Structure 1
């Protein structure tokens, strides 16, 4: 088994487990929808990055740097982007 297949199987197992847990524990359709959208985007991003890593490691590192900067930036900008407090 090569690493590409291993990480795809691992990702499928992890995101399936998280989806099952979200479905079981989330109360209300609004929160279930929001959690489902976040989980779907996260899974797509994971599989896209796995594919990019397999095809071109030179492209993977800058993409991870951009993703890291965006993640840290969203910590400070989430109130402006999504509005309101917690």
Structure 2
């Protein structure tokens, strides 16, 4: 994952919860320009956390890689300038 040192997730689908493979990450709400302030979330020893901006419930699932999500497609990567 060369784009971000910490994975960034967006919930464009409006899913009530997203399973992820990381305990520390950034929630951006939806993809820009509809994003909320990019907030760093750290589950610590817990396995779930709710984003204070968009109320998405993120649940840690050990079988997923840091950049994988369920439902799929929630990883956000900064667009590459051409």
Give the TM-score normalised by structure 2: 0.21
Which structure dedicates a bigger proportion of its chain to strand? 2
Q: How does the TM-score come out when normalised to structure 1?
A: 0.21
